[in-house]
């Protein structure tokens, strides 16, 4: 299946694959983030990476020495065939691995001409919402006190994500929170392709003064139904994704593998 899938987490190879799906990594980065060995000598890190990943057909070592997930272009779906799950979360703060939690989440499916809000829910974070966050989002403590806990909506959310490409504006943030909540609620790790509309916009809309969602919405004349609420932001991010997919096609992208290659291209190598 091409798309997000939950699986039991914990093995070192699985942790490495999750990291490599974000971007190629050096052996030193893998030793630090996957094996918990910061400061390992490069030669030692390389031997460990080979032992961990050398026989895995899903991974290859690039010419520059970094490790990367193999993009199976021959079996990659056309962009028109891909279903993208555009996600936005509102949270109590910035630290998903610590004590911050999701307060609202929404998923918009983008597939061809389809743009549909398929999931939306407030979430009881089980902790107070800081005043500054409540002011920014308009989500008060009273609004979430009667909302379901994440564990109560986890199955519905996983169904909305299943088999689709995860997309968000600053995807590391949203993926980090969703992944942490799913791990706590179901002891599952999420895996699968994901795209960041910030990263894509930097490669396809060169020279913009800002790549924040407000700035890009203004550039493409996209209107928010509600700003800093999960559904409103996900809807606009979905519209932005549509514009970026059009721009990617103009660059010659035809398949998901083409889009992932564009998404992973370092800015130093990208040509306008």
Bridge partners (DSSP) listed for residue 110: 84, 115
Strand pairing category for 5-8 and 188-191: antiparallel
**Sign of the Cα pseudo-torsion (224, 229, 231, 235, in order):** positive
Q: Which of 7, 131, 169, 228 is catalytic?
A: 228
∠ CA 169-105-203, rounded to 5°? 10
For the domain spanning 5-71, the CATH number is: 1.10.10
Same fold, 5-71 and 79-264: no
Q: Where are the domains of the chain?
A: 5-71, 79-264
pLDDT of residue 101: 98
Name the one residue in this structure whose structure tokens are 């026989």: 55
Residue 131 is a catalytic residue: no
pLDDT of residue 266: 84
With a CB cutoff of 8 Å and minimum separation 6, the contacts of 47 are: none
**Sign of the Cα pseudo-torsion (27, 31, 34, 35, in order):** positive
Which residues of the chain, if any, have pLDDT below 70? 1-2, 7-10, 71-75, 268-272
* Domain 79-264 top-level CATH class: alpha beta
What's the CA gap between 96 and 89, in Å, rounded?
Answer: 11
Query: pLDDT tens digits for 101-148?
Result: 999 999 999 999 899 999 999 999 999 999 999 999 999 999 999 999
pLDDT of residue 59: 82
**Sign of the Cα pseudo-torsion (69, 70, 75, 76, in order):** positive
pLDDT of residue 143: 97
pLDDT of residue 22: 82
pLDDT of residue 271: 55
Bridge partners (DSSP) listed for residue 99: none
Which of 251, 230, 122, 219 is CA-nearest to residue 169? 230
């Amino acid at each position: 299946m091409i798309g997000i899938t939950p699986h039991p987490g914990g093995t070192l190879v699985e942790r490495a694959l999750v990291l490599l799906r974000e971007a190629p990594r050096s052996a030193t980065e893998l030793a630090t983030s996957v094996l918990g060995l910061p400061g390992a000598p490069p030669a030692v890190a390389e031997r460990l990476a080979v032992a961990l990943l050398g026989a895995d057909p899903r991974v290859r070592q690039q010419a520059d020495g970094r490790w990367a997930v193999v993009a199976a272009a021959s079996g990659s779906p056309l962009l028109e065939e891909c279903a993208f799950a555009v996600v936005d979360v509102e949270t109590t703060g910035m630290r998903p691995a610590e004590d911050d939690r999701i307060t609202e989440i929404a998923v918009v499916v983008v597939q061809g001409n389809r743009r549909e809000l398929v999931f939306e829910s407030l979430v009881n974070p089980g902790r107070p919402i800081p005043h500054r966050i409540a002011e920014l989002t308009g989500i008060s403590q009273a609004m979430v006190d009667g909302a379901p806990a994440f564990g109560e909506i986890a199955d519905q959310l996983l169904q909305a994500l299943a088999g689709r490409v995860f997309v968000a504006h600053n995807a590391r943030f949203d993926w980090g929170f969703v992944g942490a909540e799913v791990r706590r609620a179901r002891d599952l790790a999420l895996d699968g392709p994901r795209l960041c509309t910030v990263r894509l916009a930097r490669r396809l809309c060169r020279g913009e003064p800002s790549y924040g969602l407000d700035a890009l919405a203004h550039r493409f004349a996209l209107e928010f139904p509600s700003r800093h609420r999960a559904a409103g932001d996900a809807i606009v991010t979905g519209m932005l994704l549509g514009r970026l997919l059009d721009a990617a096609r103009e660059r010659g992208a035809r398949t998901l593998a083409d889009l992932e290659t564009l998404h992973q291209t370092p800015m130093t190598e990208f040509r306008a």
